[in-house]
Amino acid sequence: MRTHGTQQQAAVANDAPATRSRRMSTSRLARWAAIAGIIGTVIAAVQLAVSWPAVPDVPVPPVPGHRPGLEILAPHDGTAVDRPRLSVEAYTAYPGLQHFLAVRTASGAWRLQPEPLVAAANGRLRGDATLGSAAVGAGETFDVILIATIDGIPDLRDGLSSVLHSGSIRVQRARRRDGSHQEE
């Protein structure tokens, strides 16, 4: 009987390292599974960040109207010009939006200039505004504004109530001394 007990003890003693080894491999497996889960989560987060639509970093005011972040720098208000083409320098705090110049004619209607202005990285804009033509507009006063829009070409038939815009500057087309109009 004693032999049988010794054999059982020997079998249990031989089985102990295998159980210990199984426990160690189970804990290692759990550790690697946790690491794999973390790596999978990081990969999913990176893929989501890459595929998420980019939102432009543009602070857009919620209400249309005159905005201090839109400003015509040159020419100054009250400038007299002798040509129908006016060079304008402006500043925008919204470089991600599209920018246009608009001119109010003597009739009171706003005329959108067809070419959008392109903002430099520092927010500076340059463009031209047409003040009549060589034959029309000399001696008249024009208001010029800078418009910023998300939606492309704005509709100014209802005035400026639906667009972001700068304050206006007033310029006057001068007549030549001899009374004729100056050609550009």
Provide φ and ψ at 59, rounded to 5°.
-80, 105
Handedness of CA 143, 144, 149, 153 (dihedral sign): positive
pLDDT digits (tens, 9 = 90+) for 131-182: 877 777 778 888 999 988 887 777 776 667 677 888 888 998 887 655 554 4
pLDDT band at 36; cut points 50, 70, 90: confident
Residue 183's pLDDT is: 45
pLDDT digits (tens, 9 = 90+) for 43-85: 877 776 665 544 444 444 444 556 678 889 999 888 888 888 8
Residue 158's pLDDT is: 67
Adjacency order of strands within the sheet including 85-92: 70-74, 85-92, 124-130
The letter for the amino acid at 147 is I
Domain map of the chain by residue range?
Answer: 1-54, 65-173
The number of angstroms, rounded, from the C-alpha of 59 to the middle of its chain's C-alpha atoms is 8
Q: Which superfamily, per CATH, for 65-173?
A: Immunoglobulins (2.60.40.10)
